[in-house]
Amino acid sequence: MLRSAGTKPIEIRQREEQMKRFIMAASVSLMALAATQVTAQVTEEDLANDQASTDQVVTNGMGRNLQRFSPLEQVNKETVSRLVPAWAFSMGGEKQRGQETQPLVYDGVMYVTGSYSRLYAIDVHTGKELWQYDARLPEGILPCCDVINRGAAIYGDKIFFGTLDARLVALDLKTGDVVWNKKIADYRAGYSYTAAPLIVNGLIITGNSGGEFGIVGEVQARDTETGEIVWTRPVIEGHMGTLNGQESTMTGTLNATWPGDLWKTGGGATWLGGSYDIDTNTLVFGTGNPAPWNSHLRNAGQPTEGNVGDNLYAASRLGIDPATGEIKWHFQTTPREGWDFDGVNEVVAYTDREGNNRFATADRNGFFYVLNRDDGAFVSATPFVRDISWASGIDENGRPIYNEDNRPGDPSAAANGDKGEMVFAVPSFLGGKNWMPMAYSQNTGNFYVPSNEWGMDIWNEPVTYREGAAYLGSGFTIKPLFEDYIGSLKAIDPDSGEIKWEYKNDAPLWGGVMTTAGGLVFFGTPEGEFKALDDETGEELWSFQTGSGIVGQPVTWEMDGQQYVSVVSGWGGAVPLWGGEVANRVNYLNQGGMVWTFKLAN
């Protein structure tokens, strides 16, 4: 092996450092000695510095604020035309389904989760598999929207990911051996798990999925060492939280915004996980639709006393204390929700051009919100998709100005009592933007938002709750708005809400976005193209055909003086399953399952 003359003294210094640590550890205890000697350890500091430390990617979002911005600039507007594959890795198996994951890179290894609750460790130099873990899934799991997984989390000497049967697994980073395996919730009642977990101060924090089954959304924090629960926070009012095995506080105020007993099966799934703002020491989790979809059953369509019908804290963003699970603030994007406008989309912490600490989030309901980072207070909201029909705007308090005649009708008021009045509503229930994460650029100060232009016919039907059965009380058909495109990647100035440019795509966008200091915006399309655009103009500078649709989340890092870019390709997710006329329009797309890694050609 070749070695430059300058490296040897550094290695010697490192060995001396190690020796010093060895002696210090030995003086404390033999146990501590063993722990420091065995393997590399991902620390809280590693997680906190993930954006700046470009030689590794150890968090979902390339930083817990979820900016998805890299300071790397070797691949830039001038050089990106030379970007070529370094290696590709097949996830194998007969069941190729949506690959919505984000790779992690640590200590020479890439960790990637796959459909059907699989996790792969890959040699990051060669693309060769080191080990693979396949969760043994029971019969009868109830994932709503494909058998996807959105990524893992790393801390200490372990890697963690959630499985479709609503369990959380901790594996040894080096071997893939199971360290612990814990139940988040009962899959038979409709719970599942797909999000990347979040780790803060040694606690692993997860949400849950299952909002279409009348489950109750919850955030849980566990000890990463043991998997034991430290606190739980249900997100629907009336439910009790826990801390250290004892009841802590009730969420909200019983029956303040929910009529009768509906809060008991009130939905609000926390299915996309959360972000962490280190400046205010706050977890931010979004919550899904209130259950069932038929809003008239929840008093949303009727004039009521006070706020009954708002259905807190469904369709909201929650600021949560990471130590106790107490709710610090809430902001409800869609009170009286009746269109499946889950409020789960990611909340990104950033500093605006005037130096204010802000959060931004692009909601399913079609509006781009800016919130105050200190208390979650409303700052502004602007539409980011065309022809929004359910609200004419957002008022100065952040509350929608409803078009009540665009709420699907009450079936109990219908002549035959089995189908309420149908409306055509925009956006569709798959959202102006769905789960696919946007990115923020520290270079331009803009957000890059993967959005879709579509609407839906939607109507309500009678429904009663039955455990483990779909709990909607609605029917629907999604339709494109325009002939020539559905997908639309938009550069949005968060200070003005202005759309600076737009990149239109035939198929709906369903993958994540990444920005770099090289002035690039990376994203993939269902047609299989992995693209880099100019962050100032939207001009396409590079594109590569990956062989299957991209619904994954790109990352970049550096190794041996070279910048690498990776994305997972494999078409699937909610669109083919729920997309109505749009699903028919894209039914020619091929499935797959490949990790692609790129670098500059010499």
Q: Under the rule (CB under 5 A), what is the footprint of Ca ion?
A: 211, 288-289, 340, 342
Its sign, for the CA torsion 479, 481, 484, 488, is: negative
How many residues appear in the chain? Answer: 602
Q: How far is the CB of 425 from Ca ion (least distance, A)?
A: 14
- Separation between Cα atoms, residue 363 and residue 415, nearest integer Å: 35
Phi, psi of 160 (to 5 degrees): -125, 140
- Separation between Cα atoms, residue 294 and residue 460, nearest integer Å: 6
Residue nearest Ca ion (C-beta atom) = 289
Residue-wise over 292-319: b if at least 16 C-beta within 10 A, else e? bbbbbbbbbbeeeeeebbbbbbbbbbbb
Residue-wise over 159-188: b if at least 16 C-beta within 10 A, else e? bbbbbbbbbbbbbebbebeebbebebbebe
3-state helix, strand, coil in the chain (%, to 5): 10, 35, 55
Q: How far is the CB of 316 from Ca ion (least distance, A)?
A: 13
Q: CB–CB of 118/135 below 8 Å?
A: yes
What's CA 531's distance to the chain center, in Å? 21
Q: How far is the CB of 549 from Ca ion (least distance, A)?
A: 22
Query: Smaller CB distance to Ca ion: residue 368 or 471?
Result: 471
Q: How far is the CB of 123 from Ca ion (least distance, A)?
A: 39
Query: Smaller CB distance to Ca ion: residue 385 or 517?
Result: 385
Q: CB–CB of 365/341 below 8 Å?
A: yes
Other C-beta atoms lying within 10 Å of the C-beta of residue 15: 11
Query: Smaller CB distance to Ca ion: residue 213 or 276?
Result: 213
Residue 340 a catalytic site member: yes
Q: How far is the CB of 268 from Ca ion (least distance, A)?
A: 10
Q: CB–CB of 142/213 below 8 Å?
A: yes
Query: Smaller CB distance to Ca ion: residue 295 or 446?
Result: 295
How far apart, in Å, do the first and last CA atoms of the chain sit? 21
Q: How far is the CB of 71 from Ca ion (least distance, A)?
A: 36
Q: How far is the CB of 248 from Ca ion (least distance, A)?
A: 27
- Separation between Cα atoms, residue 341 and residue 273, nearest integer Å: 16
- Separation between Cα atoms, residue 413 and residue 426, nearest integer Å: 24
Query: How buried is residue 486: exposed, middle or buried, by Cβ count under 10 Å (0-12/13-18/19+)?
Result: buried
Query: Smaller CB distance to Ca ion: residue 165 or 342?
Result: 342
Q: CB–CB of 485/450 below 8 Å?
A: no
Which residues have a Cβ under 8 Å from the Cβ of 355 and sit 6 or more positions away?
A: none
Query: Smaller CB distance to Ca ion: residue 342 or 346?
Result: 342
Q: How far is the CB of 289 from Ca ion (least distance, A)?
A: 4
Query: Smaller CB distance to Ca ion: residue 350 or 476?
Result: 476
What's CA 195's distance to the chain center, in Å? 6
Query: Smaller CB distance to Ca ion: residue 292 or 398?
Result: 292
Which residues have a Cβ under 8 Å from the Cβ of 415 and sit 6 or more positions away?
A: none
Query: Smaller CB distance to Ca ion: residue 101 or 287?
Result: 287
Query: How buried is residue 341: exposed, middle or buried, by Cβ count under 10 Å (0-12/13-18/19+)?
Result: buried
Planar angle of CA 339, 473, 482, nearest 5 degrees: 40
Selecting among 146, 340, 342, 535, the annotated active-site residue is 340
Q: Which residues form the catalytic set? A: 340
